[in-house]
Structure 1
Amino acid sequence: MAVQLDEAAGRTAPRTGKGGAPPARSGSGGRRSAPYLLLLPALLATAVFLGWPLVRNLVLSFQNLNMKELIQHLTDWRGLGNYQEVLGSEQFWRVTGRTIVFTAVNVVLIMVLGTLLGLLLARLGTKMRLVLSAALVLAWAMPSIAATTVFQWLFDSRYGVVNWLLDHLGWHAMAHYDWVGTQLSTFFVITVLIVWQSLPFVALNLYAATTTISKELYEAARMDGAGTWKIFTSVTFPFLRPFFLATTFLEVIWVFKAFPQIFAINQGGPDRLTETLPIYAFTEGVGNLHFGMGAAISVLTIVVLLALTAYYLRLTLKQEEDAL
């Protein structure tokens, strides 16, 4: 009986030696396809809510669609006419340069101040860290339009707290200063607003990232006589380099496409001198009822943003290769 059981086991057991390979498992194909099945709902939602509007906007950019065509349901194809008109306009290139400079200034301020706040959170005690974190979360959770309304009241020329405070500090010329009357002052208000809204994201994420760094590394650096700046450059920054790269990339996208803050403050004024590309596309498309032109500008805006992000990713990949 024992011999028969051994022979049966030998016939049914898989051969794993040189003479053969184990049979393929029937469920392996299902396990390999499981991640794609889990991603399918998100991909479908992205295709419906993001992909289709992009395709529709691209088609619209090749049409001459004004109020007449919209009411009469006419389709007047212009081909590349909208793009030629936009690219031949000096206004488009001025707005593009202004948008790039505006994005660069805001991202630098956000990353520097956010890093300082994140390092401050890492050094504070538990109670003070909790208070500051709660304040940052509240600032981050405030809707953009609500925050913009608050800043409009803060910088109001007649009843604003900022003018009142500056007047009482001795700058009497600022008592009734119109903060949205010039290009630079309007951009100053918008920049303060956008930086204030963006700091919590950078600061809280940086603090969370610093908790992953071993304390022994800081102790070793202090024993070697390293100061605060040396510890940051030799210990903190090398470990958090991926965080800085990813966060800077996200902030470039967020600031570049900022719309509600700029539009609600002064609608791109005065004299359209604070228009960025999203505001410019909205003004030409919806404001002037040139919907095909606005669609072409929005497509070019996406192209400019993709070019900036591609250049940034190229720099980051090169830095990663140099680091290795």
Structure 2
Amino acid sequence: MSIESKEVPADLVAPGAGSAGPPPGKRARGTGQGARGGAAPYLLILPAALVTVVLLGWPLVNNGLISFQNLNPRQLIQHVTEWTGFDNYSGQLGSSDFWSVVLRTVLFTAVNVFLIMLIGSLIGLLLARLGKRMRLLLMLGLALAWAMPVIAATTVFQWLFDARYGVVNYVLDQLGWHSMAHYNWIGDQLSTFFVIIVLIVWQSVPFVAFNLYAATTTISKELYEAASLDGAGAWKSFTSVTFPMLRPFFLATTFLEIIWVFKAFPQVYAINQGGPDHLTETLPVHAFVEGMGSQHFGVGAAISILTILILLALMAYYFRIVLKQEEDEL
């Protein structure tokens, strides 16, 4: 006994019945469009990525290669490559002078960042409370200070603190401090650092102030009204409303300021070339003095690589905070 199989007419079959998806032709086109759509963002950022690799990546790699060489004028003239392994690194890591520069750089960065964030935050909060005219006037002054080129600003500060013709000494003398009439501000370590810190803080405060003022405009006024109804004063409103809302701003701005101050070179070098007696050298200046000044290019390259590694180590705590916040948001 046999069962005859009957073929169902094609026009009675429901569309899509007995199949897992669209016809092969349509599926291929959809897959191709999806692939092109997924690759589009990478194609758009490819030019910028290539420029970054060429302008930043290759110099960093080349600098790393030089740090493993004994590269002096003799090697450059003779076109000789002398590989020394980790000798340049071990020589610096075993040097007390290098670690003195590291400690000096860390303290210098900490003092500058603290003053920049404190003064910049206070001015930013002041901008949020001033009237339109006074706010515009203050913002204009901040913008002019921020827009001044670094070397031009450094030249102005050299004139302001000049021992014989400086305005600062003249004003102090007129106020009764006659011993300051011809005081040499770049004659010792502390006074030289004082001039450099004033210069860097003056240049960096506008960035913090502008960003903080812009961030305060995003906070709802209802939060402040609720805090005032609860009897909160100015300080309590700041700690309970402003600071919690602007915590990401403070973290990001502090992160940027640490990087900018840690790698500050023109201000430190132009004021007194790291003097007197190399006592105001920070790591970037120390790398330049050892590399270009002493023409020990391999040693200078090794110091610059160590500078990057030390900065990354200092920023490790910040990276942990950022990652923890992202995990909490998820």
TM-score (ref. length: structure 1): 0.92
- Distance in 2 separating the partners of 1:108 and 1:320: 26
Moved over 4 A (4+): 18-26, 315-324
- Distance in 2 separating the partners of 1:62 and 1:117: 47
The equivalent of 2:87 in structure 1 is: 81
The equivalent of 2:130 in structure 1 is: 124
- Distance in 1 separating the partners of 2:329 and 2:275: 45
Equivalent residue runs for 1:155-304 within 5 Å: 155-304=161-310
Matching residue's letter, 1:226: A
- Distance in 2 separating the partners of 1:172 and 1:277: 36
- Distance in 1 separating the partners of 2:323 and 2:112: 23
Matching residue's letter, 1:61: S
- Distance in 2 separating the partners of 1:269 and 1:304: 23
Q: Deviations over 1:151-177 (max 9, x none)?
A: 000100111111111111111111111
Percent of aligned positions that are identical: 69
SS of residue in 2 equivalent to 1:275: coil
Of 125-134 and 115-124, more deviation after overlay is shown by 125-134
Structure 1 unaligned blocks of 5 or more: 1-6
Deviation at 1:311, TM superposition (A): 2.6
- Distance in 1 separating the partners of 2:33 and 2:251: 40
Matching residue's letter, 2:290: E
- Distance in 1 separating the partners of 2:85 and 2:76: 18
SS of residue in 1 equivalent to 2:153: helix
- Distance in 1 separating the partners of 2:146 and 2:67: 35
- Distance in 1 separating the partners of 2:19 and 2:325: 49
- Distance in 2 separating the partners of 1:135 and 1:82: 46
Structure label with greater radius of gyration:
2
Structure 2 unaligned blocks of 5 or more: 1-10
Matching residue's letter, 1:27: Q
41, 47, 56: which one pairs with 2:53?
A: 47
- Distance in 2 separating the partners of 1:322 and 1:114: 29
The equivalent of 1:98 in structure 2 is: 104
Equivalent residue runs for 1:49-68 within 5 Å: 49-68=55-74
SS of residue in 1 equivalent to 2:246: helix
The equivalent of 2:4 in structure 1 is: none
* Aligned alpha-carbon RMSD (Å): 2.2
Deviation at 1:37, TM superposition (A): 1.4
Identify if the C-alpha distance between structure 1 residues 216 and 160 changes in structure 2 by more than 3 Å, giving closer, same or farther.
Answer: same
Q: Deviations over 1:7-56 (max 9, x none)?
A: 79x74xx79xx985675464222222222112111111110010000000
Deviation at 1:224, TM superposition (A): 1.2
Deviation at 1:219, TM superposition (A): 1.0
**Does residue 1:108 correspond to 2:106, yes or no?**
no
Q: Deviations over 1:219-251 (max 9, x none)?
A: 111111100010001001111000000000000
- Distance in 1 separating the partners of 2:60 and 2:148: 29
Q: Deviations over 1:103-130 (max 9, x none)?
A: 0110011111110010011011111111
- Distance in 2 separating the partners of 1:171 and 1:322: 56
Deviation at 1:319, TM superposition (A): 7.2
- Distance in 2 separating the partners of 1:238 and 1:165: 42
Identify if the C-alpha distance between structure 1 residues 19 and 136 changes in structure 2 by more than 3 Å, giving closer, same or farther.
Answer: farther
Q: Deviations over 1:42-90 (max 9, x none)?
A: 1111100100000000000011011111111111111111111111111
The equivalent of 1:69 in structure 2 is: 75
- Distance in 2 separating the partners of 1:295 and 1:41: 29
Deviation at 1:310, TM superposition (A): 1.3
Matching residue's letter, 1:300: L
SS of residue in 2 equivalent to 1:213: coil
- Distance in 1 separating the partners of 2:266 and 2:124: 27
The equivalent of 1:134 in structure 2 is: 140
Matching residue's letter, 2:55: F
Matching residue's letter, 2:115: L
Matching residue's letter, 2:142: L
SS of residue in 1 equivalent to 2:83: coil
